[in-house]
Structure 1
């Protein structure tokens, strides 16, 4: 549906976008993910028509999108601030775009009623924005964006102004709404969890370039560059080289279990990426904390473990409700190794432990971005 080919945008000496190419399908929920200043919002503004690229093309269903002025593009943009008219009611805010198109009053009333019902604000049409909660104002902005029935809805950090619980509720609401109305959504965010929970596919941006485009699970489990490995979720990174027969030869630790990415040559400089939840802890008595009930006590317990591949001491234990994070100091490794276990950990700071993971749960990637 939307094809972006070789788009470049410069601001003086700063290159905001450097030859970006993407393809986004009809009805897809697509996320542009990256840190501040990586170029994702600039790309969104080019699609919307508020910026003109220095090079490249953007087409919608094969038609040149860049040749059309912003108000002639079948696109709606929902701003981070929502930009509601404070003196207008909810219904008037939603109807404003349709009124500018001079649609019949009966048609406007019908479409506004339908969209307010869709976003759960049918009984709030007479209220002013100041009388609504943050989540309700966000719904008004969404209703105003979809009432014109655009082919493409662009959302710029749509949930950043909401608190954690409302944000979680609105993530579900956005996904439900996108499935119901069938509009293609493109969302810009720096929040990894938001992108992972919402999107069908994610493009990770860094320094004006696309590092990787993938589905959330594949992106999390198989990052293809050091930046993606470090930016998307927590990761433990070890330096070394790709092993001759698979695996990974770590500097100072010998051979560690891991699965190289395809086409990664043996002996090439590489990084081993191990997610915290993939690591099993074992103490000196050859017991492990796996999150399974292997002790018969009915609690998260301690059972038999495979031999550890690394040894260290527990520095800190943090409990986050459903999961505990343990920081383990491994001599010879520059940073503590992060381990995640389900529930409350029975391991305490100062404990001597061994760390183990399976080769299939760790990925070996090139040390330099390809």
Structure 2
């Protein structure tokens, strides 16, 4: 069931178009991510949902009702700030209770709700501590507890894990996902961190230049990008631009490369091949579709990343393999992949070269 329906939302700041006719549906109870580079419009959209910005055009509806007509302080929406914005002079439980006290709820109800949410986020033992006595991950949990204790229909998170180091961030990604399922609130997170979006979200909207490029589940975004921007933005990719033929994609200087069927023959398209789909072998007659030379080998925690120089291609071809690489820098190799393991993306102008 759709909770938030965004239709034709546009927002300009002088000569800058932050949002250009954005349309999205966010479902009840899902973890939804707005992902894109700086300046793509994702934070502006978040601020419109929160009530801090008004669009120049378009509509936003929550359960069919006009959300834009409701003042920010009356919306069933809460925003968790990037900085956490905790009151330093208040204890954990006072920080969490603040919003409920402002609503003048009965003290017994406040105590009950604060105690329950601190148990949920694992901070019951730290209830009397001040923010400066907590770790970064614990402060993040306090901010989250303060946001969900008011039981909003929609929780907005603006780069929620950016202040944490890598190890704590990985732990909190799992914690956020667990909490979202437990409390049943719809979460919308804004991030430029692909790993964060891919690990947290049920669905992701990839934004670029104020527009939504693609909305899909993380696996579908990764394996089946539908626009050139998504193919180049989501994860590492080997991109080749050429002409679609019955046998594959014909690329100047490289010949015909294995590509899945589906695009109109004679049209220009982009072929995307993930590094882990690349196979390397010995240079022998009939092996591989390309020939390359290994220029770099790097080892990252169980996976080896290789960069190869391929004559006729103006950028390195990337390959990834589990464990230690079986080839060294300087080796000549045959490069191949299966057509079914690649993605063919339409909508590429004829003069663009990947």
Cα distance in 2 for partners of 1:174, 1:66 equals: 28
Task: State the TM-score, normalized to the length of structure 2.
Answer: 0.96
**Number of the residue aligned with 1:244:** 246
Q: What is aligned with 1:279?
A: 278
Cα deviation for residue 242 of structure 1 reads 1.5
- SS for the counterpart of 1:17 is strand
8 Å Cα contact 1:271-1:364 kept in structure 2:
yes
Rounded to whole Å, the distance in 1 between the matches of 2:267 and 2:246 is 10
1:253 aligns with 2:254: yes
Rounded Cα–Cα distance in structure 2 between residues aligned with 1:242 and 1:200? 33
Give the structure 2 partner of residue 359 of structure 1.
339
Say whether the 8 Å CA contact 2:254–2:313 is kept in structure 1.
no
Partner Cα distance (1:368, 1:248) in 2 = 13
Note the alpha carbon deviations across 1:97-120, whole angstroms, 9 max, x for none: 000000000000000000000000
Q: CA deviation at 1:249?
A: 1.3
Q: 1:103 aligns with which of 102, 105, 110?
A: 105
Moved segments of 4+, more than 6 Å: none
CA deviation after TM superposition for structure 1 residue 352, in Å? 0.3
Q: Which residue number corresponds to residue 177 of structure 1?
A: 179
Runs of at least 5 residues in structure 1 that lack an aligned partner in the other structure: 287-305
Match of 2:143 among 123, 141, 144: 141
Distance 2:93 2:282 in 1: 63
Provide the secondary structure at the position in 1 that maps to 2:68.
Answer: coil
Query: Does residue 215 of structure 1 match 2:217?
Result: yes
SS of aligned partner of 1:5: strand
**1:87 matched to which residue of 2?**
89
The separation in 2 between residues aligned to 1:331 and 1:367, in whole angstroms, is: 26
Asked if the contact 1:20/1:209 (under 8 Å) is kept, the reply is yes
> Shift in Å at residue 269 of structure 1?
1.0
Q: 1:330–1:367: structure 2 CA closer, same or farther, 3 Å change rule? A: farther
Contact between 2:244 and 2:267, CA under 8 Å: does it hold in 1? yes
For structure 2, the residue ranges without an aligned partner over 5 or more in a row are 350-354
Q: Does the 8 A contact of 1:313 with 1:353 survive in 2?
A: yes
1:347 corresponding residue in structure 2: 327
Alpha-carbon distance in 2 for matches of 1:39, 1:349: 42
2:48–2:54 Cα contact (<8 Å) kept: yes
SS in 1 for 2:294: strand
Q: Deviation of residue 368 (structure 1)?
A: 2.6
* Secondary structure, counterpart of 2:69 in structure 1: coil
Q: 2: distance between equivalents of 1:339 and 1:163?
A: 28
Cα deviation, residue 244, structure 1: 2.8
Q: Deviations over 1:313-369 (max 9, x none)?
A: 000000001101000000110001010000111210000001110011111112538
User: Aligned to 2:39, what secondary structure does the other structure show?
Assistant: coil
Post-superposition offset of 1:285: 5.7
Mapped partners of 2:134, 2:291: distance in 1: 54
Aligned pairs, how many? 347
Asked whether the 8 Å contact 1:321–1:344 carries over to 2, the reply is no
CA distance in 1, matches of 2:329, 2:284: 17
Residue 352 of structure 2 corresponds to which residue in structure 1? Answer: none
* Distance in structure 2 (CA, Å) of the matches to 1:199 and 1:283: 41
CA offsets 1:287-318 (integer angstroms, 9 cap, x no match)? xxxxxxxxxxxxxxxxxxx8211101000000
SS in structure 1 at match of 2:229? helix
Cα distance in 2, alignment partners of residues 342 and 117 from structure 1: 40
2:76 corresponds to 1:52: no
Q: Is the 8 A contact 1:89 1:127 kept in 2?
A: yes
Q: TM-score, normalised on structure 1?
A: 0.92
Aligned-residue offset at 1:253: 1.6
Aligned to 2:267: 268
SS at match of 1:345: coil
RMSD: 1.2
